[in-house]
């Protein structure tokens, strides 16, 4: 996105350094008073509180924030996984001079602690020893409250994925109700959403200059409590913008009919001219200065909590206002108070992103945890990603069940090749017992590196939620050559034996570049490649905004062709979601038959988990489709979405994915009988389950692979 089409943002490393830069760089950010003393500090300017163990690695958000603020000259301390039952642990580093920064960690605390069936997990990959229970439920709220108790009057800034995805009134799966904005519940002064470097640096310098946190009302990428709409602002009711109009037929920016919609410069210009002629005050494609002083009035917390249609409408409006090039501010009433959500932050430039990743991370867990090889000290998340490199941010896929786009945005922010290769060399030099293998060059998606819209003007005006659904937009650059070049350069580095790709692959993009698939399967697959078709049936795939199974088949054909040419036996590991909104029992049966036909046996499966703020969660909550216009007045015309909500049905959908597990056969037999498909009960080649255990035979059951790794939310590249 060019600077000509977005508001100016000061480069993040152009601020004058704070006076405390004279203390230099900390080997690791201090976690106790003794370490502060060793650094010559009498106090911390900023204290960051996190629900994760402290790992000084750029894959851990709190390490990034800490090092970024340190680079601005501030003294930053870390309080990791404190005992939240009292405020004592929050006083360990003394009173912060400027503010508290609070996050639940790299994962939402509820996703971290509970399964999709609401069972408490016994483990935690972000804790030494993989021990569960080291963070509270809704950690952001609890930590923020304890910070206030520890030292009254110190500003509290909340951020990270938990705060980001709960910035408005949102459906909470674990309590099965709509909850208020976390800004309200935590009583924080300001909420930072998305990647937070721009926001947190501006907040820190303005506080250091003596400005009050109460004056920071309009920083992009933040939410604050507001007394109302300021003078000089135009307030628009959300239902005026998105309600179906009888007089003027607006092109639905979420329309799924055909390719491209009207996303070309000529049609955009015609659209803008027509709307000016019709005197529409604020156009959905208007990127003029009027938008800078326009705020959209969303339905209140009370309204969305009590009205499913308005909940779906509010979710849709939020997703419409996510492009930094044209998004407007949002306001939502909670009782007598107002939550003001500023437009998203401007993505970092390549130079800024390089500078963030080039900071002096030790690349090690906090030294106070002890020997990193000892079982009680090992941090599974660190072990998993210590030799991986994040090459980009963001995702334009728009999968409705995923929260990456809501958090990081859909504009890809890519690092330079030089910066990435420098990090590979750092891994080689700094990682204990490095074997020469890089576990991943990826990010939210493996193959979106340097992909972007061909036109800055179109990108700034676009309001589509996905660049690749229902088809790949003709305005999207799908050239994989820079990624191929990166792979080749990385594996040529001295001391590097293999470079694997572990992040999820967007196969509909990959088939546009057979040369990329050849490079991938020839050099970067360790026998198995994870891939996520998610389903085989049209209705669930449409609700997920995923491509049809034919695209997967096309990728599989190329994968097998190039694997054979390379003389390698390699296999795809396909992932599927059970019980996603829009999925019927018949859909799951058809998926099970597809699995059997292709001789796939999933070891463990994932059931849909409604994460806060995702479009699929809005479907789950409202039983409506927010991908289309929704109006309470015309609710009867809104598309209904089937929701497999009951536990028995969710269990059945998971059982279909594990049709080969004899423990599931009684349930499947009962379901097949009720569905009138008794023809699928028996030991025939095309039958799904045997009539009895005794009739079961393994003669024809040869599998291309034997196990499918558990897809845990806590793995790297998690889509939540």
Q: Is pLDDT above 90 for 406?
A: no
* Element of type H or E holding 541: helix 538-544
Q: What is the pLDDT of residues 507-563, one digit of tens each?
A: 999 999 999 999 999 999 999 998 999 999 999 999 999 999 999 999 999 999 999
For the record, the structure tokens of 651 come out as 């269990």
Q: What is the pLDDT of residues 111-145, one digit of tens each?
A: 999 999 999 999 999 999 999 999 999 999 999 99
| pLDDT for the residue numbered 3 | 35
Is 248 domain-assigned?
A: no
Taken in order 4, 5, 8, 10, the sign of the CA dihedral is negative
Interval 489-500 mean pLDDT: 97
| pLDDT for the residue numbered 631 | 64
| pLDDT for the residue numbered 345 | 96
List Cβ neighbours of 246 (8 Å cut-off, separation of 6 or more): none
| pLDDT for the residue numbered 628 | 87
Q: Is pLDDT above 60 for 648?
A: yes
Q: Is pLDDT above 90 for 262?
A: no
Give the chain's length. 720
Q: Is 204 helix (H, G, I), strand (E, B) or coil?
A: helix
Radius of gyration of the chain (CA): 26
Is 486 domain-assigned?
A: no
Q: Is 280 helix (H, G, I), strand (E, B) or coil?
A: coil
| pLDDT for the residue numbered 632 | 60
Residue with the larger pLDDT of the pair 479 and 280: 479
| pLDDT for the residue numbered 718 | 36
Q: What is the pLDDT of residues 675-696, one digit of tens each?
A: 999 999 999 988 999 997 555 4
Residue 72's domain comprises 3-223
On the question of a cis peptide bond just before residue 9, with omega within 30 degrees of 0, the verdict is no
Provide the number of structural domains found in the chain: 1
| pLDDT for the residue numbered 372 | 87
Closest CA to 351 of 8, 12, 4: 12
Q: What is the CATH number of the domain that holds 69?
A: 3.40.50.2300
Is 204 domain-assigned?
A: yes
Task: Give the per-residue SS3 of 145-169.
Answer: HHHHHHCCCCCEEECHHHHHCCCCC
Residue with the larger pLDDT of the pair 606 and 197: 197
Average pLDDT of the chain to the nearest whole number = 89
Q: What is the pLDDT of residues 59-102, one digit of tens each?
A: 999 999 999 999 999 999 999 999 999 999 999 999 999 999 99
Do β-strands 76-80 and 170-172 pair in parallel, antiparallel, or remain unpaired? unpaired
Please give the Cα distance from 320 to 313 (Å, whole number).
Answer: 11
Please give the Cα distance from 666 to 687 (Å, whole number).
Answer: 15
Please give the Cα distance from 547 to 534 (Å, whole number).
Answer: 10
Closest CA to 408 of 393, 398, 396: 393
| pLDDT for the residue numbered 635 | 57
CB 535 within 8 A of CB 587: yes
Measured in Å, how far apart are the chain's first and last C-alpha atoms?
A: 25
For the record, the structure tokens of 665 come out as 């056969």
Is 352 domain-assigned?
A: no
Is 674 domain-assigned?
A: no
Is 332 domain-assigned?
A: no
| Choice among 231-245, 404-418, 653-667 with the minimum mean pLDDT | 231-245
Is 176 domain-assigned?
A: yes
Q: What is the pLDDT of residues 292-347, one digit of tens each?
A: 899 999 999 999 999 999 999 999 999 999 999 999 999 999 999 999 999 999 99
Interval 692-705 mean pLDDT: 47
Q: What is the pLDDT of residues 201-237, one digit of tens each?
A: 999 999 999 999 999 999 999 999 999 999 999 999 9
Closest CA to 379 of 362, 394, 367: 367
Is 559 domain-assigned?
A: no
Residue 89 Rama label (left phi>0; alpha psi -120 to 50; beta): alpha
| pLDDT for the residue numbered 603 | 79
């Amino acid at each position: 996105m060019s600077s000509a089409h977005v508001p100016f943002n000061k480069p993040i490393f152009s601020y004058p350094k704070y006076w405390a830069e004279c203390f230099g760089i900390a080997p690791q950010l201090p976690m106790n008073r003794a370490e502060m003393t060793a650094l010559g500090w009498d106090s911390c300017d900023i204290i960051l509180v996190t629900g994760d163990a402290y790992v000084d690695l750029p894959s851990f958000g709190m390490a990034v924030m800490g090092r970024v603020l340190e680079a601005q000259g501030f003294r930053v301390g870390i309080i990791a996984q404190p005992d939240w039952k009292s405020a004592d642990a929050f006083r360990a580093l003394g009173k912060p001079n400027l503010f508290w920064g609070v996050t639940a960690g790299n994962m939402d605390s509820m996703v971290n602690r509970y399964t999709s069936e609401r069972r408490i997990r016994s483990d935690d990959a972000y804790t030494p020893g993989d021990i569960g229970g080291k963070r509270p439920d809704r950690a952001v709220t609890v930590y923020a409250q304890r910070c206030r108790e520890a030292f009254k009057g110190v500003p509290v800034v909340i951020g990270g994925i938990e705060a980001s995805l709960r910035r408005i009134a949102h459906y909470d799966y674990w309590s099965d109700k709509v909850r208020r904005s976390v800004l309200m519940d935590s009583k924080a002064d300001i909420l930072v959403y998305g990647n937070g470097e721009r926001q947190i640096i501006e907040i820190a310098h303005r506080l250091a200059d003596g400005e009050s946190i109460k004056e920071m009302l309009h920083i992009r990428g933040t939410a604050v409590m507001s007394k109302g709409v300021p003078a000089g602002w135009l307030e628009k009711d959300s239902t005026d913008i998105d309600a179906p109009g009888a007089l003027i037929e607006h092109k639905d920016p979420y329309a799924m009919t055909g390719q491209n919609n009207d996303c070309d410069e000529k049609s955009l210009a015609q659209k803008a001219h027509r709307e000016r002629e019709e005197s529409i005050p604020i156009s959905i494609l208007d990127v003029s200065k009027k938008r800078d002083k326009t705020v959209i009035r969303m339905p209140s917390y009370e309204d969305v909590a009590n009205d499913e249609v308005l909940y779906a409408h509010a979710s849709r409006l939020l997703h419409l206002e996510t492009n930094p090039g044209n998004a407007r501010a949002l306001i939502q009433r909670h009782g007598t108070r107002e939550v003001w959500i500023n437009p998203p932050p401007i993505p970092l430039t390549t130079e800024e992103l390089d500078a963030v990743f080039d900071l002096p991370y030790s690349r090690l867990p906090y030294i106070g945890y002890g020997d990193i090889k000892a079982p009680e000290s090992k941090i599974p998340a660190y072990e998993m990603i210590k030799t991986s490199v994040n090459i980009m941010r963001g995702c334009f896929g728009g999968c409705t069940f995923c929260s990456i786009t809501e958090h990081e945005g859909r504009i890809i922010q890519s690092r330079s090749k030089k910066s990435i290769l420098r990090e590979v060399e750092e891994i080689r030099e700094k990682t204990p017992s490095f074997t020469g293998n890089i576990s991943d060059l990826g990010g939210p998606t493996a193959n979106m590196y340097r992909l972007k819209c061909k036109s800055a003007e179109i990108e700034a005006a676009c309001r589509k939620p996905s660049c690749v659904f229902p088809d790949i937009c003709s305005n999207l650059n799908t050239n994989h050559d820079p990624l191929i070049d990166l792979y080749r350069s990385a594996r040529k580095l001295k001391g590097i034996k293999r470079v694997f790709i572990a992040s999820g692959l967007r196969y509909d993009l990959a088939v546009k570049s057979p040369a990329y698939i050849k490079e991938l399967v020839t050099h970067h697959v360790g026998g198995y490649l994870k891939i996520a078709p998610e389903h085989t049936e049209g209705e669930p795939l449409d609700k997920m905004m995923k491509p049809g199974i034919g695209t997967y088949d096309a990728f599989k054909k190329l994968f097998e062709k190039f694997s054979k040419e390379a003389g390698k036996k390699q296999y795809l590991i396909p992932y599927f979601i059970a019980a996603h909104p829009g999925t019927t029992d018949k859909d799951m049966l058809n998926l099970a038959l597809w699995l059997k036909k292709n001789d796939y046996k999933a070891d463990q499966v994932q059931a849909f988990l409604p994460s806060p703020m995702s479009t699929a969660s809005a479907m789950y909550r409202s039983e409506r489709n927010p991908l289309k216009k929704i109006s309470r007045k015309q609710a009867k015309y809104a598309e209904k979405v089937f929701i497999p909500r009951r536990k028995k049905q969710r269990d059945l959908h998971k059982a279909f994915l594990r049709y080969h597990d004899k423990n599931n056969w009684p349930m499947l037999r009962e379901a097949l009988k009720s569905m009138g498909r008794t023809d699928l009960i028996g030991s025939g080649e095309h039958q799904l389950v045997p009539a009895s255990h005794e009739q079961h035979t393994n003669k024809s059951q040869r599998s291309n692979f034997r196990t499918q790794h558990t897809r845990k939310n806590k793995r790297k590249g998690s889509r939540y």
